[in-house]
Structure 1
Amino acid sequence: MKYKNIREEELKNKVGADWFKSFDTTEILGNIDFTVFPKQDSIFGRTPLLWAEAKTGNFDVPTMFVQLILTIGKARTFDKTLPPAFLGAFDFKKIAFVPYISVQDIFYLNDFNWNVTPSNHETKEFKLIKDRVEATLKKNTTVYDYEKDEKDLKHFIANNIANSTETAKIRIDKNNFIPIYLRWLDIVKPTIDVHWDELKKSGILDSDFYLADLFVDDKDTQKIDDDITLRDNLFVIFQNQGYKIAKENIKQMFDATINIRNREAYQLFWKRYKRPPIKEFQEYIIERRDLLVPQDIRERQGAFFTPRIWVELSQKYLGDLLGENWQDEYYIWDCAAGTGNLLAGLTNKYNIFASTLDQADVKVIHERIDHGANLLKNHVFQFDFLNDDFSKLPQNLLEIVNNESKRKKLIIYINPPYAEGDNVRGIGRKDIHVSKIHSKYQTLMGKASSEMFAQFFTRIHQEIPNSVLAEFSKLKILQAPNFSDFRKFFRAKLEKFFIVPANTFDNVKGDFPIGFFVWNTSKNEIFEQTIADIYDAKGIFIGSKTINSYDNSKYISDWLEINSKKNSTNYIGHLASVGNDFQNQRMIFIDNEEKGSWKKGGRHTRITVENLIYTSIYFAVRKVIPASWLNDRDQFLFPNEHWENDKEFQSDCLIYTIFNTNIQSRFGVNHWIPFTENEVNAKERFTSNFMSDYINGKLKTENIDNLFGNEKIEYKPLHFSNDANEVLNSGRELWKYYNSFNATIANASLYDIREFFQGRNEKGRMNSRSNDEKYTELISDLRNKLNVLADNIKPKIYEYEFLKE
C-alpha cells in the first residue's frame, strides 16, 4: 500500500506533494484536515478548490465524508469563506471526491445539532447525516486507488480540481447575506454607474442596490439579461440589465436606468451565488435590512434590531403590570419602529401604531403585512419624532394623543436611537443638536440633550403627559451625572424594570447593562432607587440588583482631591484616574510620572508621603472588585468617616497597591520595594528604601526633609492583617528568587521582575507566561494571596460607603 504505516500529518504532506504539487496545500482552515488552493489568488481572493478529510488506515468513504461534513457544519466554514468546487476524503489507500453542490443542502437542515464532536462516529447526529448523504455519495462520488488508478487520478485533478475556477453556487441564507454584502461592496459596487453621494442625500444607499441584486430570479443562468426582479416594493429594483430607483418621492429625479459598467465582473460575482435567497430566509433578510445600514445612519435613525428574546420578555413585563387584557385595553405606539420587530407578538392590530424616520422601513413593514404581519398598513407611517408636528399623525392616533383620558391608555413602546451628538461629526451631529426638540428643551435637559434617546423621552414626558413609556435604554437615565438635570424634570414612577447584557444587542460590544423600563408618567416621582431584575444572555433570571440615583452625591474623586491638596513637591509615583465608575477601571493605574502617561487625559495625582494612604485606598477601592457588565455604571462615592479609624483597612489597601503598580525602574527611582536589601539578598544597596522605612516606622526627619520637604511628622510602624502579611511573605520569596540570578536591576520593581522572567514577544508585549517553573509557582502564589487580600477589602468598601449596596 502506498502510504501504509505513516502518521496522519505525514500522510497529508505526502498526498500534497505527490498529487497536488501544482497547488498550495499549506493553508490551515479551521479544523479541516486538508485544503487545496490555487497558487495565485482570484478576484475573490483565496478561492478554495478542495476541502478534504484525512485518515490513516483503511476507511469507509461515506464515514470520512460525514466527518468532514460535520466539521464544516459545526464551524459554518462556508459562511466565513467561499466553499470549494469539491469535497474530498482520503486514507492510506485511496482518495475520493464529491462535488460540493451535491451535499450543500445538508448544511441547511432545520433543528439539527451541529455542536457534536465530528470524530465521534457513534452519535445520533453522525448516523443521521450518514443516512441522509449515503445515497448521494454513491451517485456522485469518484474514488481512486493511488496505485491502481494513478493515471486516472492525475487526469481528474488536472481536468476538474485545477479547472474549478468557479465553485458550486452558494445558497444565500440569514447567516451569510452580510458577508456576501461585504464582498459585493468591493467587487460589484464599483461597477455601478451612479453618483453615490447624490443618492445618499435622497436616502438611497448602496445596500438598496445589493437588495435589488439579491431579490432577482437568476433563471439558473450566469447571464444577467434574463434576471427578473421578485420584489417591486424595494427602493431599488433590478430591471433591463441595470437598476431603477423605485422610491416614490425621488424616482422622477433618477428616472433613467442605472447601468453596470463592467458586466463581466458583475456576472463573475453573481455566478458564485444562487439567487434569490433561500425562501424561508427571504423575510428575515428583508426584516434585517437594518444590518446593512452604515453605523452612523443606524445610530441617528434608530435602525437597530431588538433581539426577539428581549421583545418577548418586555411584553411579558407589560402584561404582568397592566393585566392579561392589556393589549385590548391599551393603545401602543412605537415611534422609533425601524422595521417593526419590537411589535412582533402583539395581537390586537387595531390598537397598534408604528412610525419611523425612514420611508424605506415603512415599505418593509407594509411588505411584512402582506406576508402576514399582524399590523394595519394605515397605522404604519413615516414620522420624524424629533422634528415633525403632531398634526402629521394619523387622525385616530392624533385623537388619542390629544385626549387626556385616552392618553392614560397609550403606551409609547420603543427602542429609540442612541446616537450622542458629542460623539459624531458632520450631518449626524447636526441632526442631533439642531432637532426641534433639542432646541425647545435644551435648557431643561442640560447635558443629556446631546443624547437622542433623551430627546425622545423629553418630548413624550412634556407633550404626551400621563402616558406609559415602555423603553429600552442604557442605565445612564438613572445614574449618569450628565442626566442629573434630566432627572429633575423627568418625574415619573418606574413601575417595572429589568436589565440584560448590552452585547446581546446588534453591534454592541461593551460590557454594560441595557434596561427595559416601564414608566408611568402620570405619577410625579423623582427617581432615587429601584430594584432591577437581572437576566443573563440566554434570558435566564439570575437575581436582582439595587440601582441608585447619585444625584446630590459626592464622588470618590472629590474625596481624593481634598486629601491630595497639601503635598510635598517631591513624589514617589503617579496615580492616573478617570471617572467614578467601573467602566473606567482599566484607566486606573500607578506608574512613574517620568514615563509621561500623566499627560493623557483624566485626573493625575502625584503620590507623596502625605497622601500615600489616601491614594492607596483610592487605588484599591477602585480595583479590587472586578468590572462586569452588571456593575459597569455603579459609581464610587465620597466615603463616610469610619474608614479613618480602621488602620488595618488602610494598611491592607497599601499592600494591595504596592503589588499592583506599573512602576518600572527604567523610568525613574523605584520607591516601592517593601523589603530591605537583607530581606531579599539584594546584590547592591537599593536606590531608595522609602517604602520599607515607611512600613517599619523608620522614616527619619532628615529623610523626609530630603525627599519630601520640611514637614516634621512622626511615622510609626504599620500594623498588618494576616492576609497582608501573607502577601508580604509571598512577595519576599519572589524578590529573593529574582536576586538569585545575575539580575541587572538592583532595585527592581514587581513589573521589572515579571518582565525579566516572562520576556516580550515580537510585538514588544510582555508574555503572559514564563518557562521558569519556580517563578511561575512564586508569582501564582503571590496572585492567590492578593486575591485573598482583595476579598478582605471588598466588604469594607460597602461598609464605608465607597459603593452603595
Structure 2
Amino acid sequence: MAKLETIWRQKTDDQHRKALKKRLTKKSAQVLFNSLKSAANEKDIENAWRKVFTEYYVENYDEGFEITSPENVDGFISARSGALIFALRLLLEFKQGTDLTRVNDRARITCQCIHYMHAFKEKGYELPTVIVGADENQAFVLLAGNFYKYLERDYEWGIAPSSAYKRDLKLMRDLQDDANLAVYPFQFVGGNVNERYNSLLDLFDSIDSIVQADGKETYKVAVSPATIVGMFDEFNHIAFREPDKIQPVKAVNMFMQMLTGKNSNDYYFLPRNRNLYHLPGDEKAKVYGVRLEAYLNHYDRNFTPKEVDQLTAIADRLIEANERRFKGDFWTPTIWAQRADELLKEVIADDYKDDSLVWDCAAGVRNLTREFNYDELFISTYHEDEVYLGEGYNPEAKAAFQYDFLNDDVLLNPKDKPDPHDWKMPESLFNALIDAGKTNKRVVFYTNPPYGTATNVKADGTSKKGIAKSKVNELMVKQGISKASQQLYCQFFTRIVKLVDDFELKNVYIGFFTKPRFFAGGDYFEKFNQFFFSRFKFVKGNLLNAGEFSDTANTWPITFAVYQLGTGCTDQPTNQFTIEQSDYSNGKAKVDVVGTHTMQKVYNNDALSTWAREPLKQGCFVKMVKGTYPQLSSALNESRGKKPRGRLHQGSLGYMVSNSNNIGEGTTNSGVWLVSGSAYKGNGFNVMPENFDRACVNFTARRAIAPTWYNEQDNYHAPDTSNPKYQEFVNDALVFTLFENASYQAAYRDEDWSNTNVPGKWANQWFWLPIGLVKEHVENDSNLNPIYDDLRGDQDRFIAKQIAHRSFSNEAQAVLDAAEKVWLETLPNRAMLFDDYPKYYLEAWDAGWFQIKQINHLYPAASYDQFRECFEKLKQKSGQLVYDLGMLNK
C-alpha cells in the first residue's frame, strides 16, 4: 500500500510540475534573472518581479486573479471581482541590497508587511494569506496567518510601513524571536541555469500549496537541490549550543539525517532531553531542540527514494572548503561521474568494473561510484561522517572506511609489516592488494582528490613551522619533488606510486579529477613530472570548466584523466585533451565534445620568462640607481607605505612586472605591466637596451592572447627566433608595448626624482616621437611654453631612436600614424590642464601614452577611435604570431 501511495504521489507531483512549467517557462525565468542582475534601483527590482508574478497568476493561471497596489504595496494578488473566492491573497514586497539569509532582513520586510496588514484591517480589506519578500538575489515565503497575532498588539501603527523597521523597534525585536521567520530563501544566483529555474518553480510551488490547503494549515516548503545549500546555512546558524565543537562534516551529517531520516536508529533527539542529539558511537551533540524542530517542521520532508538520493548526492557542497581538512574538495556532479566512467571504459575495457580492484580513496559521499556496481570496490574518505552519509550506496563494496590517504600506513610496507592487523586499512583491502601483486590483477585508483593548495607548505615541502604537512609530503621532500607537494593531488599521485612499489602491483590505472596545471610544466612541477611520468603514462583525458562543479569559479579548467602504469615511460612534451561541456537541453543531460586543446609542458630552461631575462644574467648589471626613484603601482600612482620590491639598474629604461609564465596571470593588469620608473611589486625585471627586444616580445605575448577557461593555465615557451616571421614580430611587439593598456610609461617632473642631469626631471625613454617634431608644434604656441621650456637642451628618447632605424609592418605603422594624430589633437588641450591636473606632468615634452590618454578622457581626440581600430588589428595579428612562433599551442 505504501508503495502504491508513493507512486501516486510521485505521479501527482510530476503533473503539477508540468503545469508549473507551462505557466512559468524557462524563457520567462531567464528574463527575470537578467532583469534582476541589471537592476539599477529598487524600482527596477519591483518591476521585474511584478512582471513574472503577473505572467504566472494573472495571464497564465486558470483562475481569475488580478494584481493591484492597495495602500501603495509593491503588489497584491487576489481574486478578480465576480470570480470564485480562492484562498490565495498574496502580498508582495521587494527590496534592493538586502541579504535574506539574515533574520534581520527578513524581519525588516515582514515588519513592513505587518504594518500594511494593519492598514488593510483598519479599512476592512481582506488580509493576505501569503507574504512574499524578495530582492535581486533571493525570495522567501511566509504563511501570513502566522503573523495575524501581531495585529492585535500595541505597536507603532501610525508610522509609514516603509520606515517601520527603523521606528517600530518593539515589533522588530518580537519578529527576530519568531520561529515562523526561521525559513531560508529561495536562491536565484550561483549554480547553473537549471538550478535557478527550479528554485523559481519551487517558490511558486510553495505558494500554490497554500492555495490547495485553503490557507488554513501551515504549509511545508519543498526541499530541493536548489535550496538545500541555503537551508544548511540556516540550520548551522540555529542548531548548536557549542558550535566550535562541531566539525563541518559532522554538522552536514546531522542535517542530512534530520532531513531524510536514513538512519533513525543512530540519529535522533533524546526522548527525555530534546537538547541532545544522538550520534553513532553513543556520541551526543548539544543542540537547540525547540528551534530545530520548529525549523524542520517548516519543510516538506516526505521524500521519495529518488529525492533522498538527489539530496545526499550534494552533501559535499554543504561542507565549507575553508573548514575542511583538505581544501579543494568539490562535489562531483553525476553527469561528470558518468563521463568519467565512460573514459575509464574507453581506456581500460567495457567490463573493467567486473574484473578490477577499484579503490576510491577520497570518496566523500560516493558521488563517483554510486550509480554503478563493482565486483571488488573499496571506498575510503578522510571524514568519518561521510562514511555514514554515503550509507546505502554501493552496498556491494568490500569495505567503506575512514582513511587518511596521505598519512595512514604511509611509512609501512608489507615486507616489513606482513600482518594486516598492523595496518589501518581493512584486512580485506590489504589482502586484495597482496593478491593483485601476485596475480597481476588490475587495480584502478579512481577518485576526485582534493586539488586545493596546502597553503602552509613552503616550496621546500615544509610548513611554516618546519613540520611536514603530511607523511606523503615528507616522502616527497626526501625524493626531491617537494615543490609540487603544495598541490594535494600531487601528494595523492605520489602515495599511489608508493602503493604500487610496496605491493608490487604491475597492472594499475589511475582515474583522477585534478587541475591540469602540471600538464603545463613550470619549475613548480618539473621534478614531480619527471618522477610521476616515468612510472605512469597519460592515456586520455578531457578538460571541463570548473563552473560545472557547483560553487566553484568558472575561469579555470578541471581535467579527468586516465593514466596507465608502464615501463619506459617518459615525460611527454605535449598532451591533447578533448574540451567538453554539459548540455541539459530537451530535459536530458549529456556531455558534448566541443573541441580539442593541446597542453605543452614548458620548464624553466625553455620558458619565455627565462628567455626574456637571460641577457640580464651576463653579470654587467650590478650597479643600482642611487637615491630615490618612483616606486609605482601604475603610471601615475606611487605606492607609498608599501614595501617596494622593484630595484632599478643604472641605465634602465623601466621595470616590467612579469608574474608567473602563464596565460591567466598575464592577462590581468596585476600580472604583467610596464612602468618607466620602478614597480613596488617584484616578480619582474629591468628593461635594459640589451634585453629591450625580448622584453617587448614577452610583454606582447603575455598581453595579446585572449584568455579562455581552458587555456588560462598554459605556459609560454621561448619563441622560435629562426622563424622568418620573428623579426617582424619583434618590431610589431615594440609598437604593441608602447600603446597597450598595461603599458604605464610616463614622464615625471618631481623634485625627488631624476634620471637625467637635471634635478627633478625623470625622462620617459618610451616616448616615441622625435624631439624635433615636438619642438616644431610647440615653439609658436605661447600656451605651450612650459613644454617648450622643458625640451630645451634635451634629446631623442631611446624608443624614438629605435623607431627611426626600424621598418614596420603595415599594421604596426598604422598604429604609429594613428597615435601621432591623437598626440597632435590632444596637444593644444594640455594648456587647460597644467594648473588643474599637476599630477599628470603634462608640461613634460616626453609625456607618455598613458598621460596622453588622460587628456583624451577629458577632451576626446577625433582620431582616437581610428587608433583603437588600428591597435585591435595589431593585437589580433600579434596573438596569431604567438602561436606561429611556438610560444603557445592551440
Q: TM-score, normalised by structure 1?
A: 0.69
> Hey, what's the Cα distance between the residues in 2 that align with 1:133 and 1:383?
46
> Counterpart of 1:602 in structure 2: which amino acid?
N
When residues 508 and 624 of structure 1 are mapped into structure 2, their CA distance, relative to the original with a 3 A threshold, is same
Task: Verify the 8 A CA contact 1:637 1:802 in the aligned structure 2.
Answer: yes
1:168-207 matched pairs, under 5 angstroms: 170-186=221-237, 188-189=238-239, 192-194=240-242, 196-200=243-247, 205-207=250-252
Q: 1:330 aligns with which of 356, 370, 383?
A: 356
- Aligned residue for 2:744, secondary structure, equals coil
- Cα deviation code 1:71-125 (max 9, x no counterpart): x9xx9979823235579xxxxxxxxxxxxxxxx99x9xxx999979x9xxxxxx9
Tell whether 2:533 aligns with 1:473: no
> Hey, what's the Cα distance between the residues in 2 that align with 1:236 and 1:419?
35
> Hey, what's the Cα distance between the residues in 2 that align with 1:641 and 1:451?
35
Tell whether 2:377 aligns with 1:292: no
How far apart are residue 577 of structure 1 and its match? 1.0
> Counterpart of 1:81 in structure 2: which amino acid?
A
> Hey, what's the Cα distance between the residues in 1 that align with 2:142 and 2:223?
16
Partner of 1:260: 288
> Counterpart of 2:888 in structure 1: which amino acid?
L
Task: Verify the 8 A CA contact 2:654 2:676 in the aligned structure 1.
Answer: yes
Tell whether 2:733 aligns with 1:653: yes
- Aligned residue for 2:700, secondary structure, equals helix
- Cα deviation code 1:15-45 (max 9, x no counterpart): 9999436x799xxxxxx9973679x999441
Q: 1:449 aligns with which of 478, 485, 494?
A: 485
Partner of 2:537: 493
Identity of aligned residues (%): 19
Q: TM-score, normalised by structure 2?
A: 0.63
Q: 2:575 aligns with which of 530, 535, 544?
A: 530
How far apart are residue 608 of structure 1 and its match? 4.2
How far apart are residue 602 of structure 1 and its match? 1.4
Tell whether 2:598 aligns with 1:543: no
Tell whether 2:735 aligns with 1:735: no
Q: Unaligned regions of 5+ residues in structure 2, if any?
A: 1-42, 48-65, 76-89, 114-129, 146-184, 410-419, 584-590, 622-648, 751-761, 835-841
> Counterpart of 1:381 in structure 2: which amino acid?
F
- Aligned residue for 1:616, secondary structure, equals helix
How far apart are residue 199 of structure 1 and its match? 4.2
When residues 752 and 137 of structure 1 are mapped into structure 2, their CA distance, relative to the original with a 3 A threshold, is farther
How far apart are residue 571 of structure 1 and its match? 3.7
Tell whether 2:360 aligns with 1:360: no
When residues 610 and 323 of structure 1 are mapped into structure 2, their CA distance, relative to the original with a 3 A threshold, is closer
Partner of 1:81: 139
How far apart are residue 317 of structure 1 and its match? 1.3
When residues 393 and 37 of structure 1 are mapped into structure 2, their CA distance, relative to the original with a 3 A threshold, is closer
Q: 2:405 aligns with which of 385, 404, 408?
A: 385
Tell whether 2:301 aligns with 1:276: yes
> Hey, what's the Cα distance between the residues in 2 that align with 1:78 and 1:637?
45
Partner of 2:468: 433
Partner of 1:45: 105
Partner of 1:149: none
Task: Verify the 8 A CA contact 1:413 1:469 in the aligned structure 2.
Answer: yes
Task: Verify the 8 A CA contact 2:457 2:463 in the aligned structure 1.
Answer: yes
- Cα deviation code 1:769-803 (max 9, x no counterpart): xxx8x65x744432322221123223433444333
Task: Verify the 8 A CA contact 1:334 1:353 in the aligned structure 2.
Answer: yes
> Counterpart of 1:448 in structure 2: which amino acid?
A
- Aligned residue for 2:579, secondary structure, equals strand
Task: Verify the 8 A CA contact 1:237 1:243 in the aligned structure 2.
Answer: yes
Q: Unaligned regions of 5+ residues in structure 1, if any?
A: 1-7, 26-31, 52-68, 88-103, 119-124, 142-159, 161-165, 216-228, 700-714, 760-771
Tell whether 2:710 aligns with 1:630: yes
Partner of 1:721: 809
1:207-286 matched pairs, under 5 angstroms: 207-208=252-253, 210-211=255-256, 214=259, 231-232=263-264, 237=269, 240=272, 242-249=274-281, 251=282, 254=284, 258=286, 260=288, 273-276=298-301, 279=304, 281-286=307-312
How far apart are residue 459 of structure 1 and its match? 1.9
Task: Verify the 8 A CA contact 1:300 1:428 in the aligned structure 2.
Answer: no
Task: Verify the 8 A CA contact 1:591 1:663 in the aligned structure 2.
Answer: yes
Task: Verify the 8 A CA contact 1:531 1:545 in the aligned structure 2.
Answer: yes
Partner of 2:12: none
Partner of 1:306: 332
> Hey, what's the Cα distance between the residues in 1 that align with 2:426 and 2:885?
56
When residues 378 and 643 of structure 1 are mapped into structure 2, their CA distance, relative to the original with a 3 A threshold, is closer
When residues 293 and 688 of structure 1 are mapped into structure 2, their CA distance, relative to the original with a 3 A threshold, is farther
> Hey, what's the Cα distance between the residues in 1 that align with 2:451 and 2:194?
37
- Cα deviation code 1:380-438 (max 9, x no counterpart): 2222222223744444433331122555411111111224333579x999999343333
> Hey, what's the Cα distance between the residues in 1 that align with 2:882 and 2:372?
46
> Hey, what's the Cα distance between the residues in 2 that align with 1:757 and 1:341?
56
Partner of 1:787: 872
> Counterpart of 1:359 in structure 2: which amino acid?
E
> Counterpart of 1:333 in structure 2: which amino acid?
W
Tell whether 2:341 aligns with 1:315: yes
Task: Verify the 8 A CA contact 1:588 1:622 in the aligned structure 2.
Answer: no
- Cα deviation code 1:310-344 (max 9, x no counterpart): 21111111112223222223232111111001113
When residues 430 and 377 of structure 1 are mapped into structure 2, their CA distance, relative to the original with a 3 A threshold, is farther
When residues 693 and 541 of structure 1 are mapped into structure 2, their CA distance, relative to the original with a 3 A threshold, is same
How far apart are residue 267 of structure 1 and its match? 7.2
When residues 17 and 409 of structure 1 are mapped into structure 2, their CA distance, relative to the original with a 3 A threshold, is closer
> Hey, what's the Cα distance between the residues in 1 that align with 2:308 and 2:886?
55
- Aligned residue for 1:35, secondary structure, equals strand
- Cα deviation code 1:537-584 (max 9, x no counterpart): 543212222223335742222222222455671444321111111121
Partner of 2:451: 418
Tell whether 2:769 aligns with 1:672: no
Task: Verify the 8 A CA contact 2:676 2:744 in the aligned structure 1.
Answer: no
How far apart are residue 657 of structure 1 and its match? 0.7
> Hey, what's the Cα distance between the residues in 2 that align with 1:312 and 1:245?
37
How far apart are residue 514 of structure 1 and its match? 1.5
> Counterpart of 2:719 in structure 1: which amino acid?
P
Task: Verify the 8 A CA contact 1:670 1:688 in the aligned structure 2.
Answer: no
Alignment RMSD (CA, Å)? 4.8
> Counterpart of 2:681 in structure 1: which amino acid?
K
